[in-house]
Structures are given as structure tokens and as C-alpha cells.
């Protein structure tokens, strides 16, 4: 794509039907994350026996219609998902470096199927918790490996656009489960909501057999020649892939591949045997943390991931029912669906922004918007100005969608070399899960301690100002830069390679 080339023309040239298939299949992982994150929101009262129903079991007469639990017990069921996510995020980095992006994505689907089955047929709190934990393992791993995979298969000039599909899929998962919850939060139908996630997991596993391994990972760890062939399949046989192959800094010329070998190359989902000549050593999480060369990038990714959560987005996602039901005269569940739909629309509309104005600019604009809206929301709730509070809530979600939603997931791949991408992404997503837990558990507690009326949003505004200032100072711009040499400067890049 040239500097002045319209986006739609570059997309037509760079995007193939096979790449679209690969993108949609890969992003089913983040979709599961959004789905499981919100699956218990709408049916909470029915699930916990607060609302009784005479409707018979939709799945089995041997299963209880609901599982009695207190608010504290329900909080444990909800938050244990984040513990699974943390463990999954920490394990996914080493896994995707050692076994490949594709194999790791396949392993996440197993967690989706098993976890959803346990949740669906749960007859007590323990079984439901265990199912949520297993589902969290898959989701935590998925939001580590999928952004890495997309960044390595997407056309270089549109990495920001396609990288946003991680967040778009998360938002779609939230929207779908909220819609299902709106219509199925009665009787025993809540079990069907949980079962659908397992069915999607089975479909995901089957579809991954027609998805190739990341060409970049193959070039680094297996066969550079096979990686070049896979890249050509993704880009189209008429595409010029020389510039992308050159960026791998590995000899991946096809001179030694016969025409017959190209035609009879391994199917998309297969893995060539390890090639010692092509393999490069990967960096584990501990090594990345203790080596000064990688520390600036890890600090940058962790800071952005903490900011994504500590600016308060999950206070809206998880508590919007109670927040908005006092402001607008309509059903709370329908309001949640509307907010979720707005999040999807704004994320889609904002997807091209990071490729146009830069990753860092999008993040800073997003933080500024969320910080401002936090103040407006606090004032609206404090003084009872319902319209101000409602509009601030919607603008808060819109601000998140243009920057802090999609951009953090693509940064790790652009701030470090391929040998440390998995470790860096794992560190960042582990920080993200910890921050998610803190917000989900302590938002109502802090709000009550401050006297309620939305004063907690002044705290979120303070976090936005503090963390936004740090990001402006510390995090480099990565837009349009082909490697860590350009991102950090040649001297720092050489230190990372030593």
C-alpha cells in the first residue's frame, strides 16, 4: 500500500478468500473469551434460584433447574474464570513458542469443549466453578496466541486493522451471549447458553485443521522454504512475498524446492519436522523478565494492558445493569445489549485508525476520552443528571473501542523480536487478567467505601491521567516500522540480539 493509496484498494489487493477464512477461524478464540466473560450476567437471577420457574428442564430432568448460591458464592463462580485466564495466559507464551501458534490454538479448543460441558451439566457450585476454571484456561491462552498469529499472517500494511479483529471478536462474543441471555434467562434454558460455547469449540477445532501454521514461526523453527510456500498460499499465488520473507532475516528462497514439491506440499494444518538449521532459540518468561534487553518492551506491554483495565471498562461490562437501570426507563438487560452492540460498532469503525494515525496515538486518544468521560459520568451520577450520565457511559465505551480495546493485543509482536513475542505477550496478558480481577472484585467495594453515587469514577479518571502520562513517555510508536531496529533504534536492537 502506498502512502496515498485508499484503504479499500489495498484491502482488495492484499486480502484473499483463504486469508479471510484463516482470520475468522483464528478469532473464534477471542470470541469465546467474550462469550464466557459475560455468559452469567443476564441469567444470574435464574441460575442462582432468585427467580423461580415452573418450566421443565430443557436438557435433562435429572439436572436441577437452578443452583442455590449467595452473592458471595456467585462472585467466586464469576471470578474463578479470571484465575483460569491468568494460568492460561502464563502457559500460552512458552507453548506457542515451542509447539507453534497452530498447535496452541488447537489446545485452547479442548478447554472450550471440556469447560463448557462441565458448566452445562453442573449440578452444584463446585462443578460449575471447575468448568469456569477450565474455560478460563482456554480463553487466557487464546488471547495470548491469537493476536500473535494474526500479526504474523496479516498483510504488513494492514496489521493494525486486522489486529483489531481480536477485540471485535471479544465484543461479538459479549453481544451474542447477552442476546441469548435476554431471551433464554428462564427455567433451565440458561444451560443452553453454556452448551452453545461447547458446540462452537467443536466447530473451531474442526476448522483449525484447514488453517496453516504461522509462516513466520515456521521460518524461525521449522522449514523456511515451507514457510514461504504457506505465505504464498495466504497472500495469493500472484502476490509478491519477497519483502515479507526478507523481513524474516532467514534464507527462505525457493530455489531448492521443485515444482512437484510445491504442488505436493503438506496440507495447511500440518507441521514439518524440526529443522535445526532454521530453528532459533526462544525466550522464556523468566529469561525475558530478567534480561535488561527485553525489559523496556515488557514494561510497555504490561503498562498498556494494566491501563486497558484500570481505566474502568469492565465496570461497565460487568455492572452496567445496576448502573444504567437507575438512569433510563427501560429494561436493564436490553440496555446491556445496546451497550454491547455499541462496543462492537465502534470497534469495527475504529479498526483502521491505528494504521492511519498510529498505535500510540490511538491509545492516548482513547485514554483521554475515557478519563474525560469518567469525570462526566461521576458528575452525572453524583448530581443525578441522568442524561449526562447516560451519554458519558456511551462515550466511555466508544472511547475504549478506538484504542485501548484493540491496540494492546498487537503491541507485543511489534515491540520485540520473534524469539520473545510469546513471553512478552504472556506477561502482558497476565497483567491484564490480574487487573480484570481487581476491577471485577473491588469495584463495588470501593464504590461503597466512597459513598456511592459514582465517585469511584473519579478514581478511574486518576488512573487514566497517571497511566496515560507514563505511556506517553515510555511506549514507542510502532506504526509503519518493520522491526525492532526501527522501533527501539539500532543500538537497542543489537543489544537484544546479543
CB 252 within 8 A of CB 225: yes
- pLDDT tens digits for range 67-112: 998 877 888 888 899 999 999 999 998 888 888 999 999 999 999 9
Listed residue (40, 332, 364, 308) closest to 197, CA to CA: 40
Percent residues over pLDDT 90 in the chain: 40
- pLDDT tens digits for range 379-418: 988 888 878 888 898 899 999 999 999 899 888 888 888 7
Return the DSSP state at 419: T
3-state secondary structure of 5: coil
Question: In Å, how far are 56, 400, 446, 448 from 463, measured between CA atoms?
Answer: 48, 14, 14, 19
* pLDDT exceeds cutoff 70 at 447: yes
- pLDDT tens digits for range 125-155: 999 999 999 999 999 999 999 999 998 898 8
Listed residue (307, 291, 286, 228) closest to 262, CA to CA: 228
Q: What is the pLDDT of residue 262?
A: 45
* pLDDT exceeds cutoff 60 at 286: yes
Question: In Å, how far are 54, 277, 311 from 273, measured between CA atoms?
Answer: 58, 12, 45
3-state secondary structure of 331: coil
DSSP annotation string for 99-146? T-HHHHHHHHHHHHHHHHHHHHT--SHHHHHHHHHHHHHHHHHHHHHH
Q: What is the pLDDT of residue 106?
A: 96
Q: What is the pLDDT of residue 305?
A: 95
Q: Which three cell numbers stand for residue 215?
A: 509462516
Q: Which three cell numbers stand for residue 34?
A: 467474550
CB 417 within 8 A of CB 495: no
> Does 328 or 158 have the greater pLDDT score?
158
Strand ranges (E), 10-130: none
- pLDDT tens digits for range 2-47: 455 555 566 666 688 999 999 999 999 999 999 998 888 878 888 8
**Polymer length of the chain:** 498
Q: Band of the pLDDT at 446, cuts 50, 70, 90?
A: confident
Quote the CA–CA distance of 250 and 306 in Å, as a whole number.
35
CB 86 within 8 A of CB 105: no
Q: Band of the pLDDT at 456, cuts 50, 70, 90?
A: very high
How many CA atoms within 13 Å lie on the side-chain side of 114? 12
**Rg of the chain (C-alpha set):** 23
* pLDDT exceeds cutoff 90 at 466: yes
The distance between the two most distant Cα atoms of the chain, rounded to a whole number of Å, is 74
Amino acid at each position: 500500500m502506498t502512502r496515498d493509496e485508499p484503504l479499500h484498494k489495498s484491502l482488495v489487493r492484499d486480502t484473499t478468500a483463504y486469508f479471510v477464512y484463516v482470520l475468522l477461524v483464528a478469532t473464534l478464540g477471542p470470541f469465546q473469551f467474550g462469550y464466557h466473560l459475560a455468559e452469567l450476567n443476564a441469567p444470574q437471577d435464574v441460575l442462582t434460584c432468585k427467580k423461580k420457574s415452573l418450566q421443565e428442564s430443557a436438557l435433562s430432568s435429572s439436572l436441577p433447574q437452578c443452583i442455590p448460591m449467595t452473592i458471595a458464592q456467585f462472585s467466586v463462580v464469576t471470578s474463578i474464570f479470571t484465575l483460569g485466564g491468568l494460568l492460561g495466559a502464563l502457559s500460552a507464551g512458552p507453548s506457542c513458542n515451542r509447539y507453534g501458534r497452530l498447535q496452541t490454538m488447537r489446545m485452547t479448543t479442548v478447554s472450550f469443549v471440556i469447560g463448557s460441558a462441565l458448566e452445562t451439566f453442573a449440578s452444584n457450585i463446585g462443578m460449575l466453578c471447575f468448568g469456569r476454571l477450565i474455560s478460563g484456561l482456554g480463553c487466557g491462552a487464546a488471547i495470548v496466541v491469537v493476536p500473535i498469529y494474526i500479526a504474523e499472517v496479516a498483510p504488513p500494511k494492514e496489521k493494525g486493522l486486522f489486529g483489531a479483529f481480536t477485540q471485535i471478536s471479544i465484543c461479538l462474543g459479549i453481544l451474542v451471549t447477552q442476546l441469548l441471555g435476554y431471551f433464554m434467562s428462564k427455567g433451565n434454558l440458561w444451560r443452553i447458553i453454556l452448551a452453545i460455547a461447547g458446540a462452537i469449540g467443536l466447530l473451531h477445532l474442526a476448522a483449525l485443521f484447514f488453517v496453516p501454521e504461522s509462516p513466520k514461526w515456521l521460518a524461525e523453527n521449522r522449514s523456511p522454504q515451507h514457510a514461504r510456500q504457506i505465505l504464498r498460499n495466504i497472500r495469493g499465488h500472484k502476490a509478491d512475498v519477497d519483502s515479507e520473507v526478507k523481513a524474516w532475516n532467514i534464507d527462505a528462497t525457493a530455489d531448492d524446492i521443485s515444482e512437484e514439491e510445491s504442488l505436493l506440499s503438506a496440507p495447511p494444518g500440518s507441521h514439518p519436522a524440526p529443522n535445526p538449521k532454521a530453528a532459533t532459540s526462544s525466550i522464556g518468561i523468566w529469561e525475558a523478565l530478567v534480561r535488561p534487553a527485553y525489559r523496556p518492551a515488557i514494561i510497555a506491554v504490561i503498562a498498556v494492558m494494566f491501563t486497558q483495565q484500570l481505566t474502568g471498562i469492565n465496570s461497565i461490562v460487568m455492572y452496567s445493569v445496576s448502573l444504567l437501570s437507575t438512569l433510563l426507563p427501560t429494561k436493564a438487560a436490553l440496555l446491556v445489549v445496546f451497550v454491547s452492540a455499541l462496543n462492537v460498532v465502534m470497534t469495527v469503525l475504529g479498526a483502521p485508525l491505528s494504521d492511519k494515525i498510529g498505535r500510540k496515538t490511538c491509545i492516548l486518544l482513547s485514554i483521554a476520552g475515557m478519563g474525560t468521560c469518567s469525570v462526566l459520568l461521576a458528575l452525572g451520577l453524583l448530581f443525578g443528571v441522568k442524561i449526562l450520565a447516560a451519554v458519558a457511559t456511551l462515550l466511555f465505551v466508544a472511547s475504549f473501542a478506538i484504542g485501548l480495546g484493540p491496540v494492546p493485543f498487537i503491541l507485543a509482536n511489534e515491540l520485540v523480536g520473534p524469539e520473545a513475542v510469546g513471553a512478552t505477550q504472556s506477561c502482558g496478558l497476565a497483567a491484564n487478567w490480574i487487573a480484570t480481577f481487581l476491577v471485577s472484585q473491588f469495584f463495588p467495594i470501593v464504590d461503597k467505601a466512597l459513598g456511592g453515587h459514582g465517585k469511584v469514577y473519579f478514581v478511574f479518571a486518576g488512573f487514566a491521567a497517571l497511566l496515560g502520562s507514563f505511556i506517553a513517555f515510555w511506549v514507542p510508536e510502532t506504526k509503519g516500522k518493520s522491526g525492532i531496529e526501527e522501533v527501539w533504534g539500532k543500538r537497542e536492537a543489537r543489544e537484544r540480539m546479543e
